[in-house]
Amino acid sequence: MPAGFKSALRLLSPGLGVKRWLALMLVGLLMSGLAVSLLLSIYFAKNLWLLTKIPVFAWQPALLLGLLGLGLFIFGSYQLNKIFLGAFIPEQATVAYVAKQVYYRQRRRKQGPKVVVIGGGTGLSVLLRGLKRHTDNITAIVTVADDGGSSGKLRRELGVLPPGDFRNCIAALADDEALTTQLFQYRFRSGQGLEGHSFGNLFITAMAEITGSFEKALYESGRVLTIRGDILPSTLEDVTLLAELDEGDSTRKVKGESAIPASALPIERVYLQPDEPRAFPPAIQAILNADLIIAGPGSLYTSVMPNLLVSEITGAIRASAAPKIYICNVATQPGETDHYTLDDHLQAIETHTQTVDIPAVNTEAPELNRNGFSCLFPYVLANNNLDHTIPVAMNLSPIRPAPAKDNRYTVVAADVVDEQRPWRHDATKLADELMAWYKNL
């Protein structure tokens, strides 16, 4: 017997209150069917020219039977829906509450804009956690250059793409960030071979073995947690992030995403090996179909940049007519963006990818050039405690002379800082600001 059929039979177990309403619906359906049969028999029993001579009362019993059957069927359906919906809503809630609140919100999210978010690390998951309140049409394009911690171990030992950033995104987009999500994020603190690994990383790795591919593993893992949106790698190739660091009189090369900030030297440039990895085709398609493209927040050189170094990704960004916005980090990152201003972030992106093809930063000219990124700058409130954090400064000096008035960056300065952790963005405030900016374009 199929497993699905067995599961359906369990609904008929005593005490669930399902059988009575199913029986009532069945009786109503039979009565309605009998009424239709009686009406048809009366119609065809007479010649059409005699039909008008049939007394009115001859139709009445069939009509009453049909209306009664229809009423029983509707009432049984209503009671059955109350039982099923009761498993998902509070006891004090009503069916009207579900129709007005849950269904309306779900419908609104499904009709929301198609948003593509590019990045990695904890910054990306913070943004996704806020965006899912506005739309279900989210695609996260995630870096595969991570080589540290649990992801790095699994990558080296099993040859799988690093699952850590994907795990964070899956947890952030989960429909219910409760026990299942906590389990997905659980990290083993002891145990030979398990210490340091998170359950979600092991789950995705095992799913890749079972399904035969990393992309299928992401899909199935997301299905388990019923995520809102899609999570895609920027490339399926085994890429390594390298950097050239400034040592004053010479340049030092460093290999590996985790080793770059650990070197604590100014970064001249980063690049991938192999230098021209193929982009994951669904990621390109998502960018081309997007209504809004967001880069960041996250580590500039080790989370955001590895995606933009995939030339087909940047080509799709240039080709897209969607507005694009870069979310600057709240604070500088030691070993990576020490003493960086807003201009430095934007200059780094332009130098590496030429995706940001706009010549100046200027708040007095809010015209949006849709061929490049605008920038959301998180200003830090004076009462925030930043004892060990250096906020990114907004430096609005031109990158180079602007040949035309409309070729400028639009800088959106907003309070999107987490008051409890002022070195990070607040998920709700950031998503609300982004959606307000998008709707006002």
User: pLDDT digits over 289-314, tens only?
Assistant: 999 999 989 999 999 999 999 999 99
Q: Is the pLDDT of residue 367 over 60?
A: no
The single-letter DSSP state of residue 310 is S
C-alpha 306/C-alpha 121 separation (Å) is 12
- Evaluate whether 295 touches 119 at the Cβ level (below 8 Å): yes
3-state secondary structure of 178: coil
**pLDDT given for residue 36 in this prediction:** 86
Which stretches of 186-289 are DSSP H helices?
199-211, 214-224, 259-262, 281-288
Q: What is the pLDDT of residue 126?
A: 94
With residue 182 as reference, give the H or E element that holds it.
helix 179-185
Does the structure show a pLDDT above 70 at 343? Answer: yes
Torsion angles phi and psi, residue 186, rounded to 5: -65, 135
Q: Which residue has the higher pLDDT, 69 or 241?
A: 241
Higher local confidence (pLDDT), 209 or 16? 209
Whole-angstrom Cα Rg for the chain: 29
pLDDT level of residue 430 (50, 70, 90 thresholds): very high
Question: How far is residue 114's CA from residue 110's CA, in Å, rounded to a whole number?
Answer: 9
Separation between Cα atoms, residue 62 and residue 66, nearest integer Å: 6
pLDDT in tens, 61-111: 778 888 898 988 888 888 877 776 655 554 444 445 444 444 445 555 667
- Give the confidence band of 16 by pLDDT, cuts at 50, 70, 90: low
- Helix 199-211 with 164-173: angle, nearest 10 deg: 100
Going by their DSSP bridges, the two strands 240-246 and 267-273 should be labelled as antiparallel
Segment among 57-61, 156-160, 350-354 with least mean pLDDT? 57-61
Q: What is the pLDDT of residues 104-145, one digit of tens each?
A: 455 556 678 999 999 998 899 999 999 999 999 999 999 999
Tens-digit pLDDT profile for residues 374-408? 777 675 544 344 455 688 877 654 433 333 333 44
Average pLDDT over residues 197-206: 93
Q: What does the pLDDT read at residue 381?
A: 46
Q: Rounded CA gap, 254 and 247, in Å?
A: 12
Which of 362, 366, 286 is CA-nearest to residue 322?
286
Q: Which of 236, 294, 262 lies closest to 412 in space, CA to CA?
A: 294
What distance in Å separates the CA atoms of residue 185 and residue 108, rounded to the nearest whole number? 29
Single-letter code of the amino acid located at 29: L
